[in-house]
């Protein structure tokens, strides 16, 4: 019996896209970011439902190939750097690369000449993230050589915010650097049809940065990355559920779990749930979280194990074997969000949802 299920609500996914598109307006392209297995939601099964987006953002060529093999024909942008050995497949599968250095631009140009094809590229600029991209002054020095390379189409230019939603002053500094660079390039008669910098938190909290296209990841999946009030009504797409495997009574002064981090102070009714850190449940929830059973909170007792967690059912006498246990999601009038779990664990919601592992079956509703 498969007890552990990630439930993906496709209607909520489509709702989130539509409300976000309504928020950014009709003239801004919407790129769906589906890297990291669609943020743990399942790349293949998510992508086939994204017919209302303008393109896809991925982290590497392998993710792009998966999309093409699903017969998805919309633009696919690799948002990070690429290896030289990836270029052949990038061109073969019509995937758009990011350019962060002159050497990669030269290699792509050579492949384009060999295949007699014009290769669209997006130039990445480091405006303060400190990861990928030309520094603004560096790009101004090499742009003429990039323009001289054959078989390249300068389609887009983009950057990435470091502190969107948390530090507006730095967001504005990065945005100003990006706009000043674009203005300097335009004075050199260099123009791009797609200029983009806004990620999910920028779309939600700095909408003046949307430009020609936005790259939306976690917000599309119904999670406000900042955890504060959202300007749009996002609905959670993912729920994580299990079932009660075993129920037992323990006496007063009885140890629960490894290293005796919980010792009962009274007779208790406990339940064992067949999911643990081997499935991606954060170990930091040990003695520090709860699940929902029969619409009530059941505290996590002791250390989370590789394959199990132990919960307190003392105040839920009606609980029985195989009852549903909600770890992320809603049950009755109560809910547990990825943001709440992340806060308890000192993590970010991105890591909570992307760490859920392959032993958990996904179903799409």
* Distance between CA atoms of residues 147 and 192, nearest Å: 12
CA 211, 212, 217, 223 torsion: positive or negative? positive
* Distance between CA atoms of residues 200 and 59, nearest Å: 16
Catalytic annotation, pick one of 114, 153, 258, 334: 258
Contacts with 104 (C-beta within 8 Å, 6 or more apart), sequence order: 81, 82, 84, 87, 97
Residue 134 is classified by DSSP as: B
Q: Is 308 a catalytic site residue?
A: no
Cβ atoms 360, 6 nearer than 8 A: yes
Q: Is 88 a catalytic site residue?
A: no
Contacts with 195 (C-beta within 8 Å, 6 or more apart), sequence order: 156, 157, 158, 182, 211, 212, 213
| CA 133 to chain CA mean position, Å | 21
3-state secondary structure of 77: strand
Cβ atoms 82, 97 nearer than 8 A: yes
Cβ atoms 200, 236 nearer than 8 A: no
Strand pairing class (55-58; 290-293): unpaired
What positions carry a catalytic annotation? Answer: 35, 258
């Amino acid at each position: 019996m498969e007890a552990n299920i990630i439930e993906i609500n496709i209607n909520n996914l489509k709702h989130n896209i539509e409300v976000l598109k309504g928020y950014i307006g009709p003239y801004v392209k919407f790129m769906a970011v589906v890297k990291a297995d669609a943020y743990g939601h399942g790349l293949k099964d998510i992508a086939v439902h994204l017919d209302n987006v303008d393109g896809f953002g991925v982290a590497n060529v392998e993710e792009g190939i998966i999309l093409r093999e699903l017969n998805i024909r919309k633009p696919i942008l690799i948002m990070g750097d690429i290896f030289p050995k990836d270029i052949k497949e990038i061109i073969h599968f019509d995937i758009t690369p990011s350019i962060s250095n002159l050497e990669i631009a030269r290699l792509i140009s050579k492949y384009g000449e060999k295949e007699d094809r014009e290769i669209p590229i997006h130039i990445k600029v480091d405006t303060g993230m400190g990861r990928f991209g030309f520094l603004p002054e560096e790009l101004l020095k090499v742009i003429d050589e990039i323009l001289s390379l054959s078989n390249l189409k300068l389609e887009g230019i983009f950057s990435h915010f470091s502190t969107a939603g948390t530090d507006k002053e730095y967001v504005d500094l990065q945005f100003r650097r990006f706009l000043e660079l674009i203005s300097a390039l335009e004075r050199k008669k260099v123009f791009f049809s797609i200029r983009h910098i806004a990620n999910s938190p920028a779309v939600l909290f700095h909408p003046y940065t949307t430009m020609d296209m936005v790259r939306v990841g976690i917000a599309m999946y119904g999670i406000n990355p900042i955890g504060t009030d959202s300007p749009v009504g996002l609905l959670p797409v993912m729920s994580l559920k299990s079932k009660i495997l075993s129920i037992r009574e323990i006496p007063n002064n009885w140890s629960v779990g490894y290293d005796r981090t919980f010792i009962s102070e009274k007779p208790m009714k406990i339940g064992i749930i067949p999911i643990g850190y081997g499935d991606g449940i954060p170990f930091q929830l040990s003695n520090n979280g709860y699940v929902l059973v029969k619409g009530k909170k059941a505290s996590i007792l002791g250390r989370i194990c590789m394959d199990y967690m132990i919960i307190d059912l003392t105040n839920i006498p009606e609980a029985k074997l195989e009852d549903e246990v909600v770890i992320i999601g809603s049950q009755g009038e109560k809910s547990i969000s990825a943001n709440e779990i992340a806060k308890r664990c000192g993590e970010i919601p991105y890591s909570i949802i992307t760490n859920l592992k392959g032993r958990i079956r996904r179903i799409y509703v």
